[in-house]
Structure 1
Amino acid sequence: MVGTSEQETFAYCDRLDYAPGDTVRVHASSGSERLRVSLVRPRADGDTERIRHRHEPVAAVEPQETPGSLQPTTVGSFGLVEGLDADVADGLTVVVHAWPTRFAGDGSTLLSLTGDQGTVELTVDANGILTGRVRTGDRVVEVVAEAALQLRHWVTLALSVDPAGGMLRLHVRPLDRLVPGDLPRTTEASGTLAGLGPLRRLLLAAGGTTTAPDGSPRGTGCFDGKLDSPTVLAGPRDADALADLAVDPRPHAALLAWDLGTDFATTILRGTTDGAEDGLLVNAPTRNVTGRWWDATEVDHRLAPGQYGAAHFHSDDLEDCGWTVTHELVLPDDLASGVYAVLVEGSDSVDHVPVVVRPQAPGGVLFLLPTFSYLAYANARLAEEFDYSGDVLTNRDVIPSDRDKQIYAHREFGSSLYDHHTDGSGVCYSSHLRPILNMRWDFRSAIQDAPRHFAADLVIPTWLEHLGLEHSVTTDHALHEQGLDALAGHRVLVTGSHPEYWSKRMLDAAQALLDDGGSIVYLGGNGFYWVTSADLDRPHLVEMRRGHQGIRTWQSEPGETVMSQSVEEGGLWRLRGRAPNLLVGIGMAAQGWDDATPGFERTEASRDERVAFLFEGVDRDVIGDYGLVLGGAAGDEIDRADVSLGTPRNALVVATSQPHSAYYLASNENVPAPTPLINGTNNPDVRADVTFFETPAGGAVLSTAAISWTGSLAYDGFDNDVARLTENGVRELLARSTSG
């Protein structure tokens, strides 16, 4: 239910997964006079028309009723250093290098230094005109640059405050591709500049601060662009000295200096001089980006020390909403592992936040909820990135759902890894410390007109429960944090419908499970595709770099493909030598969204006695030519076998999709040269392959090759041949692990 912005109820929790006995801390915002907060267990099954969602209360957790309250969200990244004690009574000179990427309509601040009685600041207006300004008491002296800054061009800025001479000087030195009239120059203004007092605070990429509901700082007047090496020198400089300083300020002794080129995985703004306290980087500016000194000879900061000294700040960055904890739910010590949700009900609207209770005992199937992928798509505004209009990507009517409308109405809740920042740069971080409105059981993806991601994945634990199979649930986050320990005692790992974003730690753990005789049932498509990371000290924040290959809505800037948190090359796992085929036998082939999604046709290999168990009770040669997602089992994003990419030689393709339409296009990493042979009508590689193979250690892998498989799994109350084949596979692999 969706109300007005004043009525709407939103929430998030402090974690995505918990152990029994843990306390779930809920951060809720609502204009409703009363809120009811409870723990429920959601389910998803289907009839012959659609996937149906329902939920049941967890009686062991007492609901709570409290007044509602609105909690604001302030976006924008910035740097903050407090506790300074730098005497600048005789004047100062501040130097910073800037690479602006957007000029805000109401202006923004590159740098602000606050003294006991005044402020020194550098601001830029909507037209790119830079102003240096000193405020002392009720006096304001400012100097305005003669020429506008240029977007995406490095410039060195030096502002000199000379109290004795009553002069404020601003030097602007462009560094990239000078054009006529775009020359280094110094402008001056006179006025009374005394009385600033000792410097106490630095703000980088913000002009001021407010306070979030939880007391943490938030920025105002935030800047879009890169900043590098903020430095304060004691004393003023004349025009000639400023010009020399702007060429290379590094040889000059600094009173205060900070380095943005270290501690990439942290929130630390590192001070490098005596008196320059370490500061805080708020709301996750992009780290490990090329700086003012990058010369394009290396694309890895480890090989080019000093050339990655910048951070890219964005006025719409968000790491943490900063809401207070409004409710705490204590989980029973004996609560079964599974997918739950915190249900927050206002008088006019509701929200429901998924939470997972991790397994406490080994045994049975382990379902892995793809939470890294959920964060990658968190609050995605894909209609802005893909043109859904016309007869291009689909022949279906694309109608935004209520949750889609909320996402577009509440941009303050941040973006997905598919979106662009307001300055046009790609979003490479995503956090769960905010409402994620498409990670809800009632989310319907517009282009599929069906549940996707979490709403679709709920089918799998519901189906396992329907079968009476012992199972537990864990998350990508737990697997990344704990590695193989997260899988301990579980011999069959079942994935979600779209486990696209995986870290090295996760891949290593899954491979170790297979090497130890365990098995994997991969119930999706386009899995294990993008290199992803999360620092163990900030597990709420996932990162990826798109690189320059793969299906992408943006691509990395030159020199910026190495992850800031894990310090590894980003992009596709395939380009790192770990194609999905190596783990599960198949890898990304194509994607499409039409109303004629096919099923799978059994192959000759399906008659092999090695896979006879899969087809017990399956009487038809065409499987899944029906479904609750796009009308068939072989739809959305689809995978195929390819020995050249690592599909094991003993793998059996037991079913392959029937011909796809022109709306199914080959993934671009599979099309090395321009060619008309790119769609389901003319390219035989545009297909999905249900694949099975045994491992040397005695386990096996069953891969079903399409995101829409779960939509067919749920069809007619799980009474269909897709469900039977999948059940046969899971039961056989469980039996093998038990007997082994």
Structure 2
Amino acid sequence: MGTEQIRRWESGALAHAVTDPFGQGPLPWLRCGEHYFDDTGHVVPWYLDHSSLDGARAPSGAGGGPRAADDVHCQIKGFTSESAVSPGESVDFRITVNPPQPFGVDVYRIGHYGGEGATKITTSPRLSGIVQPPPLTADRTVSCHHWWLSWRLQIPDYWSTGAHVAVLTTADGHRSHIPFTVRDERPGDLLLVLPDVTWQAYNLFPEDGRTGASLYHAWDGEGRLLGEEEAAVTVSFDRPYAGAGLPLHVGHAYDFIRWAERYGYDLAYADTRDLHAGRVDPSRYRGLVFAGHDEYWSAPMRRAVEKARDSGTSLVFLSANTMYWQVELGPSPSGAPDRLMTCRKRRGPGRSRRWRDQGEPEQQVLGVQYAGQVPRPHPMVARNTSHWLWEATGVAEGEELPGLVAGEADRYFPRAALPPHTDRVLLAHSPYRDASGARRHQETSLYEAPSGALVFASGTFAWSPALDRPGHTDSRIQRATANLLDRICKHP
């Protein structure tokens, strides 16, 4: 297969970049020491397709560096048996290496770490790589549950919980990644819930022009990308992520983590399937934070969050298009629970699986709900700036915050029921133009439930990147977020 075709499928964001201006390909989650010189002497970051970049000339004598594995050749690709584990438990890695050769795994923890964004916490022994069997497919569902175990990592009790990335590197310099979470079982101020269910919905592995399928896309026999009507109905967690191995929207969560840990917030960690399975008790926390794009929710996930809110736990949604699709989780063919996700969307008779079409609009939890895509960034227009959320931000009534409405947007729907509340305010009302040129608007919402819980919804993809994404940070959004979390955590 030609280089141009391989490059076409390399990014992991081919089909979705229009919906997320911050998520075009794997993000530079590690900010130091991860640039290399390619064979032509150009400086390249490891997370991009180096053959398509223009860079500065390297000094003479510079050597080659790691190259991103692709889904066509699968030089090295892998996944974990569980996306979240507790200290004292183990993580099983299932990895394919083509051609067979030794490889190693470096494990990083995401955090601030003096601005570096992550720190290396362990390295595997030298491992023997094999070519695993081809993925199994059935009705567009792609699964690698039959792959052999490659490495088992025992999580020590003394490890810090948090978001982790395993970096896989072959002896000949190909590299890929596997995200996983070491979850908390202790009470704390804030529980960060990582959206692994939504990450998998967008996963098109393998992006080889033949086999891969997500809940959005699949391939035809000519290597053309098909749309939602021909996409998978069920996707498996037993497979690598496409491209360089990081989920499409992973950067939103990492932006929040770096910022929150920099300022010392007490963060516990879990993923959305922990909510689904009841492995974490949301009522043990002052607040739940959903920092990333979190579009796909099962009924148990929603019920757990509603119960937590009604018992006094605050909810913080820092993205848009949250809780849009209702999904079901089921066991893999091997019997492992919650390894298959099904969302029927608009196919067949009956209503679609949107929550609002099932009689439970997401606005009943969020206070606003999904309105549509934002083709290019627009300003966020601040409203009610005398409210405590805008305190010390310097934001004036009607002031425009450039680029803060982007990707996708939420707004208040007057015909949809609101959640029970004792107080409610809209903190932004921002006009924008959709793809057809029609005038739309975005809104940021905050309400107080009868239990005293605060529920905040940013209504835009751009909020988390404004916290700690190079080129996107906004000190006013940083201060407003601190005002919100300090009140939830009852900090002075």
Using the size of structure 1 for normalisation, the TM-score is 0.52
Aligned to 2:425: 652
Aligned to 2:301: 506
Show CA shifts across 1:240-291 (max 9, x none). xxxxxxxxxxxxxxxxxxxxxxxxxxxxxxxxxxxxxxxxxxxxxxxxxxxx
CA distance in 2, matches of 1:53, 1:410: 36
CA shift for structure 1 position 440: 4.2
Whether the 8 Å contact between 1:640 and 1:705 is mirrored in structure 2 is: yes
- The answer to whether the aligner puts 1:695 opposite 2:449 as a matched pair is yes
SS at match of 2:433: coil
Rate the CA distance shift 1:434–1:334 in 2: closer, same or farther, 3 A: same
Aligned to 1:606: 385
Q: Map 1:233-312 to 2 at 5 A.
A: none
SS at match of 2:180: strand
- Structure 2 gaps, min length 5: 1-66, 222-228
Aligned to 1:262: none
Q: Map 1:370-389 to 2 at 5 A.
A: 370-379=195-204
AA partner of residue 426 (structure 2)? V
Aligned to 2:319: 524
Q: Could you tell me which of 195, 205, 215 is aligned with 1:417?
A: 215
- The answer to whether the aligner puts 1:69 opposite 2:130 as a matched pair is yes
CA distance in 2, matches of 1:331, 1:558: 47
AA partner of residue 543 (structure 1)? T
AA partner of residue 345 (structure 2)? R
SS at match of 1:318: strand
Rate the CA distance shift 1:438–1:494 in 2: closer, same or farther, 3 A: farther
Show CA shifts across 1:642-682 (max 9, x none). 2421235742101122x31342x6xxxxxxxxxxxxx443x
- Structure 1 gaps, min length 5: 47-51, 78-313, 381-406, 444-451, 548-555, 562-569, 627-631, 666-678
CA distance in 2, matches of 1:466, 1:38: 23
CA shift for structure 1 position 360: 2.1
- The answer to whether the aligner puts 1:340 opposite 2:164 as a matched pair is yes
Aligned to 1:355: 180
Aligned-residue Cα RMSD (Å) equals 2.8
CA distance in 2, matches of 1:24, 1:38: 14
CA distance in 1, matches of 2:91, 2:399: 42
CA shift for structure 1 position 75: 2.8
Show CA shifts across 1:597-616 (max 9, x none). 1222222x332xxx32x112
- The answer to whether the aligner puts 1:37 opposite 2:105 as a matched pair is yes
Rate the CA distance shift 1:489–1:341 in 2: closer, same or farther, 3 A: same
CA shift for structure 1 position 557: 2.2
CA shift for structure 1 position 45: 11
Aligned to 1:515: 310
Rate the CA distance shift 1:44–1:642 in 2: closer, same or farther, 3 A: farther
Aligned to 1:578: 360
Show CA shifts across 1:480-513 (max 9, x none). 0117x43241120010331110011111110101
Whether the 8 Å contact between 2:112 and 2:261 is mirrored in structure 1 is: no
Rate the CA distance shift 1:427–1:421 in 2: closer, same or farther, 3 A: farther
AA partner of residue 455 (structure 1)? G
Q: Could you tell me which of 605, 609, 615 is aligned with 2:390?
A: 615
AA partner of residue 725 (structure 1)? A
Whether the 8 Å contact between 2:111 and 2:117 is mirrored in structure 1 is: yes
Aligned to 1:496: 291
CA distance in 2, matches of 1:497, 1:355: 15
SS at match of 1:620: coil
Rate the CA distance shift 1:581–1:541 in 2: closer, same or farther, 3 A: same
Q: Could you tell me which of 149, 161, 184 is aligned with 1:325?
A: 149
Show CA shifts across 1:109-154 (max 9, x none). xxxxxxxxxxxxxxxxxxxxxxxxxxxxxxxxxxxxxxxxxxxxxx
Whether the 8 Å contact between 1:623 and 1:722 is mirrored in structure 2 is: no
Q: Could you tell me which of 183, 190, 197 is aligned with 1:365?
A: 190
SS at match of 1:660: strand
Aligned to 1:472: 268
AA partner of residue 465 (structure 2)? G
AA partner of residue 732 (structure 1)? R
Residue-pair matches, total: 408
Q: Could you tell me which of 433, 441, 462 is aligned with 1:661?
A: 433
CA distance in 1, matches of 2:434, 2:297: 30
AA partner of residue 197 (structure 2)? F
CA distance in 2, matches of 1:593, 1:408: 25
CA shift for structure 1 position 32: 5.5
CA shift for structure 1 position 625: 3.1
Rate the CA distance shift 1:581–1:408 in 2: closer, same or farther, 3 A: same
Q: Map 1:109-124 to 2 at 5 A.
A: none
Rate the CA distance shift 1:701–1:45 in 2: closer, same or farther, 3 A: farther
CA distance in 2, matches of 1:481, 1:572: 21
CA distance in 2, matches of 1:15, 1:439: 19
CA shift for structure 1 position 418: 0.7
CA distance in 1, matches of 2:479, 2:128: 48
Whether the 8 Å contact between 2:141 and 2:233 is mirrored in structure 1 is: no
CA distance in 1, matches of 2:129, 2:118: 23
CA distance in 2, matches of 1:421, 1:350: 25
Q: Map 1:77-226 to 2 at 5 A.
A: 77=138
Aligned to 1:254: none
Rate the CA distance shift 1:662–1:505 in 2: closer, same or farther, 3 A: closer
CA distance in 1, matches of 2:362, 2:480: 22
CA shift for structure 1 position 581: 0.8
CA distance in 2, matches of 1:464, 1:29: 35
Q: Could you tell me which of 370, 373, 380 is aligned with 1:588?
A: 370
Rate the CA distance shift 1:434–1:588 in 2: closer, same or farther, 3 A: same
Which shows bigger deviation, 576-585 or 454-463? Answer: 454-463
SS at match of 2:273: helix
Which shows bigger deviation, 37-46 or 345-354? Answer: 37-46
Show structure 1 runs of 4+ deviating over 6 A: none
Q: Map 1:395-474 to 2 at 5 A.
A: 407-409=206-208, 411-412=210-211, 414-420=212-218, 422=220, 425-437=230-242, 440-441=245-246, 452-474=248-270
CA shift for structure 1 position 323: 1.1
Whether the 8 Å contact between 1:586 and 1:703 is mirrored in structure 2 is: yes
Aligned to 1:394: none
Aligned to 2:337: 538
Rate the CA distance shift 1:716–1:317 in 2: closer, same or farther, 3 A: closer
CA distance in 1, matches of 2:325, 2:91: 30
Whether the 8 Å contact between 1:634 and 1:708 is mirrored in structure 2 is: yes
Whether the 8 Å contact between 1:43 and 1:459 is mirrored in structure 2 is: no
Rate the CA distance shift 1:333–1:703 in 2: closer, same or farther, 3 A: same
Rate the CA distance shift 1:440–1:616 in 2: closer, same or farther, 3 A: farther
AA partner of residue 68 (structure 2)? V
Show CA shifts across 1:669-727 (max 9, x none). xxxxxxxxxx443xxxx221111111101111111001122222225695611111111
